[in-house]
């Protein structure tokens, strides 16, 4: 196989994604920017007026911002985990979705911590976290974990971009702006696809994959410990760390499936993102949803069975004030995906995506039910007449900023897709090279 010819073919196939922007795409970008602007206005109001324009008050001091934080960071960590694991699989199918997963990882890890910043009372003192850190505090651990993980995932993503940048740099008639071509040249760091360069790149990618898996697990545990190392009823649980990992994987796989569906549809990539991907992801989602349901059930069943006073109060709140949210999150959010994914006949691309949507929404509600009801049922009863101090109701500011975060996520995703083809061309070439070698009967395995 003539590698250069193959490269040119792939570039011809994927360059329209980089060169052209359809009208629909442009409209989308405008809409997303509008949502982000509304969010920025809400942020400005919050800066000017203080946090009292949110729904948070002295008992429920953490609201939707923290929920969005753990939701997005959970997606990111699960993306990192899945990326690392995917690397060790052999097969042509993994290339199509590898880059999607990596991009989701990095973007969520940028958007998530932004939500935490919204929750901090004195943003002008953020540098104190670095000047006077206390390493006994779970928040310090979380900051270290997020920063380390962000840099790691970024480097890892970049490693996979290098060969593609090299191919794009070598393409003569690419119809992209000149500054973009210059960027390709710089970022490709002189990669000429020689055997030694390829080998070196693959070696460091492999080591990073192992590191990414380990970091994802540690960072995720640290995030769960922010809750489970306190004394609060509902939070002080021994299984919070593995529970959060499974829950993150649940939402992560769900977001991956939704992204696959949307990208496949928008760019007509049926050749690359095939049904087998959806079925594979669907089966993973099935397994994780069973595990997730198992963990959730363990949590609440033990509380109900041993009926400690504070646990009973918490369950009362969950089943009275939050009854429908509980049903949606922990019954429908678990059982519907299981039902859809369990039966072979029901596994179509559409239905699997639908199951993923239910999973993601259910998980967000599950995070809500973990954070808020505990803060509403402290050890010492809240004896206050002001309703906003007794119950938490989010205001439009918080919702506006949540949607702005989601819009930012989608917008950045779109912009990256205009910069780099979403299917790694070098991955396809590597795969074909590998198959050729196998056909030729050599034992040299290039992964």
Would you tell me which residues interact with other proteins (CB under 8 A)? 49-53, 56-59, 61-62, 119-122, 125-126, 128-129, 132-141, 143-144, 148, 151-152, 155, 159, 162, 188-192, 194, 196-197, 200-201, 203-204, 207-208, 211, 215, 218, 226, 229-232, 375, 378-386
Which position has the token pair 């959010």? 333
Nearest to 10 by CA among 18, 239, 232: 18
Nearer to other proteins by Cβ, of 215 and 253: the residue is 215
Nearer to other proteins by Cβ, of 170 and 417: the residue is 170
Nearer to other proteins by Cβ, of 336 and 369: the residue is 369
CA angle (77, 79, 82) in 5-degree steps: 110
Whether the Cβ atoms of residue 424 and residue 99 lie closer than 8 Å to each other = yes
Q: What CA–CA distance (Å, rounded) separates 190 from 186?
A: 8
Nearer to other proteins by Cβ, of 17 and 420: the residue is 420
Nearer to other proteins by Cβ, of 193 and 299: the residue is 193
Minimum CB–partner distance for residue 385 and other proteins (Å):
5
CA angle (30, 35, 41) in 5-degree steps: 125
Largest CA distance in the chain: 79
Nearer to other proteins by Cβ, of 50 and 91: the residue is 50
Whether the Cβ atoms of residue 239 and residue 233 lie closer than 8 Å to each other = no
318 CB-side CA count, 13 A: 24
**Alpha helices (H) along 58-137:** 64-87, 93-119, 128-131
Minimum CB–partner distance for residue 435 and other proteins (Å):
25
Nearer to other proteins by Cβ, of 23 and 195: the residue is 195
Nearer to other proteins by Cβ, of 200 and 275: the residue is 200
Nearest to 362 by CA among 390, 397, 340, 333: 333
Minimum CB–partner distance for residue 197 and other proteins (Å):
5
Whether the Cβ atoms of residue 363 and residue 47 lie closer than 8 Å to each other = no
Minimum CB–partner distance for residue 44 and other proteins (Å):
15
Nearer to other proteins by Cβ, of 136 and 178: the residue is 136
- Start-to-end Cα distance in the chain: 18
Minimum CB–partner distance for residue 182 and other proteins (Å):
16
Q: What CA–CA distance (Å, rounded) separates 143 from 137?
A: 10
Tokens of 413: 């995703």
Tokens of 145: 């974990």
Q: What CA–CA distance (Å, rounded) separates 217 from 173?
A: 44
Tokens of 114: 């932004």
Q: What CA–CA distance (Å, rounded) separates 100 from 336?
A: 25
Nearest to 365 by CA among 54, 69, 56, 71: 71
Nearer to other proteins by Cβ, of 247 and 372: the residue is 372
Minimum CB–partner distance for residue 73 and other proteins (Å):
16
Nearer to other proteins by Cβ, of 117 and 276: the residue is 117
Minimum CB–partner distance for residue 25 and other proteins (Å):
33
Which position has the token pair 């009967």? 441
Nearer to other proteins by Cβ, of 207 and 346: the residue is 207
Minimum CB–partner distance for residue 378 and other proteins (Å):
5
* 248: Cα separation from own chain's centroid: 8
* 142: Cα separation from own chain's centroid: 17
Minimum CB–partner distance for residue 304 and other proteins (Å):
21
Contacts 24+ apart (CB under 8 A), 437-446: 446/198, 446/202
Helices 64-87 + 396-417 axis angle, to 10: 30
Whether the Cβ atoms of residue 39 and residue 405 lie closer than 8 Å to each other = yes
Minimum CB–partner distance for residue 238 and other proteins (Å):
16
């Amino acid at each position: 196989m003539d590698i250069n010819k193959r490269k040119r073919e792939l570039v011809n196939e994927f360059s329209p994604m980089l060169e052209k922007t359809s009208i629909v795409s442009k409209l989308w970008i405008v809409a997303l920017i509008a949502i982000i602007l509304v969010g920025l206005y809400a942020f400005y109001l919050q800066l000017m007026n203080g946090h009292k324009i949110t729904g948070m008050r002295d008992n429920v001091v953490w609201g939707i911002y923290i929920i969005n934080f753990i939701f997005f960071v959970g997606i990111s960590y699960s993306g990192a985990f899945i990326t690392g694991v995917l690397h060790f699989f052999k097969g042509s199918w993994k290339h199509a979705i590898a880059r999607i997963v990596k991009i989701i990882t990095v973007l969520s890890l940028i958007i998530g911590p932004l939500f935490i910043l919204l929750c901090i009372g004195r943003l002008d003192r953020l540098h104190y976290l670095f000047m006077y850190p206390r390493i006994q505090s779970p928040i310090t651990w979380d900051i270290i974990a997020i920063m380390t993980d962000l840099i790691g995932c970024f480097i890892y993503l970049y490693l996979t971009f290098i060969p593609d940048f090299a191919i794009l740099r070598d393409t003569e008639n690419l119809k992209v702006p000149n500054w973009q071509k210059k960027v390709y040249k710089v970022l490709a760091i002189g990669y000429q696809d020689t055997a030694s360069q390829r080998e070196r790149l693959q070696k460091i990618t492999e080591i990073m994959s192992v590191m990414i898996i380990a970091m994802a697990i540690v960072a995720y545990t640290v995030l769960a410990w922010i809750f489970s190392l306190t004394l609060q009823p509902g939070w002080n649980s021994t299984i919070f760390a593995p529970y959060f990992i499974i829950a993150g994987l649940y939402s992560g796989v769900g977001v991956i499936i939704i992204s696959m569906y949307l990208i496949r549809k928008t760019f007509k990539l049926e050749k690359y993102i095939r049904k087998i991907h959806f079925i594979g992801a669907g089966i993973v989602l099935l397994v994780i949803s069973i595990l997730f349901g198992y963990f959730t059930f363990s949590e609440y069943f033990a509380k109900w069975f041993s009926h400690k006073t504070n646990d009973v109060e918490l369950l009362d709140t969950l089943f009275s004030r939050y009854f429908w949210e509980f049903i949606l999150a922990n019954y429908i959010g678990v059982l519907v995906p299981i039902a859809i994914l369990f039966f072979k006949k029901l596994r179509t691309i559409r239905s699997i995506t639908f199951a993923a949507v239910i999973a993601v929404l259910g998980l967000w509600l599950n995070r809500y039910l973990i954070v808020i009801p505990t803060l509403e049922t402290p050890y010492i009863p809240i004896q206050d007449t002001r309703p906003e101090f007794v119950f938490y109701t989010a205001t439009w500011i918080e919702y506006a900023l949540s949607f702005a975060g989601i819009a930012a996520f989608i917008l950045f995703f779109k912009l990256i897709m205009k910069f780099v083809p979403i299917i790694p061309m070098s991955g396809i070439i590597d795969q074909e090279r590998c198959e050729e070698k196998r056909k030729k009967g050599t034992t040299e395995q290039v992964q």
